[in-house]
Structure 1
Amino acid sequence: MKKFEEKTTHSKQLFKGKVISLKVEDVILPNGKEGKREIINHPGAVAIIAITDEGKIVLVEQYRKALERSIIEIPAGKLEPGEEPAVTARRELEEETGYGCHKLTYLQSFSTSPGFADEIIHLFVAENLYKIEEKAELDEDEFVELLEVTIEEAEEMVKDQRIYDAKTAFAVLWMRLSQK
């Protein structure tokens, strides 16, 4: 048994979209009382810490409708059905940045919002980058601007909230700790 496990007694799907679905579950709490949980199901994603030969981190700036603003992030993207995370990572790196890599290393996986979503991000480090001659096209609803910054510049972006998402803040922290 898992510590503090909640047993599902009923589940109802309320929405199924292109990327996510939403369900409400009736659960029995660890103390025996009943509760409800709203859960978003997501297929998972990858994120890539792309490091240039000069030691800079490759970032993309894009508009995030949920936040109603542009933010600066590491390249990332959703897993396609049956696709291995490393394949997704290489594809997203190419699509969003125009770079390929000779070395792709899996770092770790983590939950993005465990209070209400099951999304897992698989984090990779891409090194020995090279420019793609004919880069893959972005998704038709994707618009990004490429940046290559030092770790110090990225830390400033975290401080002034241009970097505003957890996966990218984690990447900046990892870059700083890996330099020691």
Structure 2
Amino acid sequence: MIDWKKINERFAYRGWRNMIQKRFEMPDGRHADFDVVGIDTFVTIAAFTKYREAIMVRQFRPGPEMVLTSFPEGLVDPRESPEMTARRELLEETGFEAGHITLLKEVRSAYTTERQVILLASDCHKVGEQKLDATEFIEVFSLPLPEFRKMLRQAEDTSFVNVDAGYLALDRLGWL
């Protein structure tokens, strides 16, 4: 593949998410501008109990302006590994602790700087209550395996990353 050369970039907006305007020289010598969302690394935690139940959350998401069903997720603290963040976020958002954490996949997006790290949290068990941030209003629930599979097939109120994480987890667990 012929390399693209970055000419420049500038921040159009800085906040919890940043909007970056990048200009590249394309392989044919022309220049093109792209708007890129600047996002730090996130973890998606495909969490399952030893009873073959998926640990899921429902919470409002401002992008689609609706409540979405997902696995627990969170921003990776720069002082933590993705695995450490997964353990912390799982406990904070759900009150569950993982017996084992396994890296499943890292995903990149075309128009963000985000690195989405998908991890499997297996042998999860309840150890406490949620400890939510001030802007988090999260409902926790578990889905037996047949219902979880049905949710993946319908996938009307979840993101593609969560569908991907679900199938990767089921494959790793040998439950497909």
**What TM-score do the two structures reach when normalised by structure 2?**
0.90
Map of 2:13 onto structure 1: 15
SS of 2:150's equivalent in the other structure is helix
Map of 1:123 onto structure 2: 118
1:148 aligns with 2:112: no
Q: 1:110 to 1:99 in 2, by over 3 A?
A: same
Distance apart, 1:171 and its partner CA: 2.4
Q: Residues 127-155 of structure 1, C-alpha deviation per residue, up to 9 Å, x if partnerless?
A: 2222223x451111011111111232123
User: Which shows bigger deviation, 8-17 or 151-160?
Assistant: 151-160
Q: 1:152 to 1:5 in 2, by over 3 A?
A: farther
State the alpha-carbon separation in 1 of the partners of residues 144 and 156 from structure 2: 15
Q: 1:179 to 1:155 in 2, by over 3 A?
A: closer
State the alpha-carbon separation in 1 of the partners of residues 122 and 150 from structure 2: 23
Q: How does 1:71-90 map to 2 (within 5 A)?
A: 71-90=68-87
Amino acid at match of 2:71: I
Number of residue pairs the alignment of both structures matches? 174
Structure 1 unaligned blocks of 5 or more: none
* Contact in 2 for aligned 1:72/1:162 (Cα 8 Å): no
Distance apart, 1:82 and its partner CA: 2.9
State the alpha-carbon separation in 2 of the partners of residues 31 and 120 from structure 1: 29
SS of 2:64's equivalent in the other structure is coil
**What TM-score do the two structures reach when normalised by structure 1?**
0.88
State the alpha-carbon separation in 1 of the partners of residues 22 and 98 from structure 2: 42
Map of 1:172 onto structure 2: 166
State the alpha-carbon separation in 1 of the partners of residues 145 and 118 from structure 2: 18
State the alpha-carbon separation in 1 of the partners of residues 123 and 166 from structure 2: 19
State the alpha-carbon separation in 2 of the partners of residues 4 and 70 from structure 1: 42
Q: What's the % identity of the aligned pairs?
A: 24
Q: 1:51 aligns with which of 48, 51, 61?
A: 48
